[in-house]
């Protein structure tokens, strides 16, 4: 067990815990930046593998950080980052829920709710762009993502169909 490495993991993931406004998906961009660019704990490819695995398994969206901790420092890393991502934000949410319920009809509370929604959406959009850049799929990846987004926004097409079509397209056009 490398205590310095565990300390580095905690220094990265405790602050990120407070940014999980839109759920675990909202911090993917910064998890990537910290894990790949800043600390060099893994490559883009390794990060994408962990991201894909975290999306395939049931559980919270923040499972990605547990997998990053596992990759970086084994079982102790997984436990450390899981605690770092869930405990601080859970305590904060518990405290805020108490205050929020008391003042939910106030104008400031409603304004904060309205302001946080687009911030969370922007963080999730940044995560999507980060994954697309890391995947190095080029114009095909960006085109499929844009088309899928538009189709899913304006129709009732199943996301599973979009996944299948995107996968089929990449099987046809990629070497």
- The helices-and-strands tally (H runs, E runs) of the chain is 7, 0
Residue among 26, 14, 123 nearest 69 (CA): 14
Structure-derived torsion over alpha carbons of residues 160, 166, 169, 173, reported in degrees to the nearest 10: -150
- Per-residue pLDDT tens over the stretch 112-165: 878 877 877 777 787 788 888 787 777 888 888 888 889 989 999 888 888 888
> Does position 60 have pLDDT exceeding 70, yes or no?
yes
CA-to-CA distance for 8 and 118, rounded, in angstroms? 31
Identify the band that residue 108 occupies on the pLDDT scale cut at 50, 70 and 90: confident
pTM score: 0.73
Tokens representing 174 are 């990629």
Residue 16 pLDDT > 90, yes or no? yes
Annotated domain spans of the chain: 3-136, 138-175
One-character DSSP codes across 47-59:
HHHHHHHHHHSSS
């Amino acid at each position: 067990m490398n205590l310095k490495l565990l300390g580095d993991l905690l220094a990265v993931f405790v602050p990120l815990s407070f940014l999980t406004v839109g759920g675990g998906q909202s911090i993917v961009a910064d998890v990537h930046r910290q894990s790949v660019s800043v600390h060099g704990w893994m490559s883009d490819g390794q990060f994408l593998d962990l991201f894909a695995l975290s999306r395939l398994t049931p559980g919270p969206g923040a499972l990605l950080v547990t997998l990053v901790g596992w990759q970086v420092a084994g079982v102790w890393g997984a436990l450390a980052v899981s605690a770092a991502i869930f405990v601080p934000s859970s305590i904060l949410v518990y405290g805020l829920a108490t205050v929020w319920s008391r003042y939910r009809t106030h104008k400031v509370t409603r304004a904060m709710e309205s302001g946080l929604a687009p911030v969370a959406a922007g963080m999730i959009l940044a995560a999507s762009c980060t994954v697309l850049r890391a995947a190095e799929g080029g114009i095909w990846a960006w085109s499929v993502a844009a088309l899928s987004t538009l189709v899913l926004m304006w129709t009732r097409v199943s996301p599973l169909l979009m996944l299948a079509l995107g996968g089929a397209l990449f099987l046809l056009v990629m070497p």
